[in-house]
Amino acid sequence: MNDVDSMARFVQLLTATQSRLYAHLYTLLGGAEAARDVLQETNLVLWKKAAEYDLTRPFEPWAMSFARFQAMAWRKRQQRDRLVFDDELVALLDAECSPAAADAGGELLALEECLQALPEKQRALVARRYQQGEAVNHIAEQEGRPANAIAALLYRARQALAECIKTKLRAKEELS
């Protein structure tokens, strides 16, 4: 694949697959930051392997296989962390990650953007509850507030996220 047309087609295929690669990596790695990092590593490997790609074959499965291997390499580097998926779980997630699940990439991107739009205190509270898995009672105890007040704050944050995501997805549909 040395001619300009072939490289242009490769770039087009790679660009069109970004959201599905991101969604797949997000599923395999369990986090936006890790998925973004590994997506960049995957893109670099795909670019280096561009000459080996056969334009007559489907691009997405080829790219997904590189993403899977990059995710496994990332996990090996992260073995010191407390939350690392084992190979069996990653294989199961990979098998379950269908094209329909990969289409969730737009929803994940919308969620990520909407999380960033939340006020810092709400975003930190959502992270403590849903990313770090802290119990509402534990958060309330540490904050010196009643548990029902923390639950109400989380409810309002979820409502704001839901509305923001709906708005972003509606806008994306209108552009399509």
Same-domain check for residues 54 and 89: yes
Q: Which of 40, 74, 97 is at the close of a domain? A: 97
* pLDDT for position 112: 85
CATH of the domain at 44: 1.10.1740.10
Same-domain check for residues 36 and 84: yes
Residue pLDDT tens, the chain, 176 long:
568 888 888 899 888 899 889 988 988 888 888 999 999 999 999 999 998 888 888 889 899 999 999 998 888 887 665 555 667 777 777 666 655 555 566 787 888 889 899 999 999 998 888 888 888 999 999 999 999 999 999 999 999 989 998 998 888 877 76
Count of H-run helices and E-run strands, the chain: 9, 0
Same-domain check for residues 123 and 92: no
Length of the chain: 176
Same-domain check for residues 86 and 164: no
Q: What is the pTM of this model?
A: 0.49
* pLDDT for position 168: 87
Q: Which of 48, 74, 97 is at the close of a domain? A: 97
Rounded distance between C-alpha atoms, residue 29 and residue 108, angstroms: 13
Helices (H), the chain: 4-29, 32-48, 59-77, 87-96, 99-102, 105-117, 120-126, 136-143, 147-175
Question: Contact, 30 vs 83, CB < 8 A?
Answer: yes
Rounded distance between C-alpha atoms, residue 137 and residue 90, angstroms: 32
Count of domains forming the chain? 2
Tokens of 142: 């540490």
Task: Show the domain range for 154.
Answer: 105-175
Same-domain check for residues 87 and 109: no
Same-domain check for residues 77 and 149: no
Closest of 84, 88, 94 to residue 31, by C-alpha: 84
CATH of the domain at 120: 1.10.10.10
Q: Which of 78, 97, 116 is at the close of a domain? A: 97
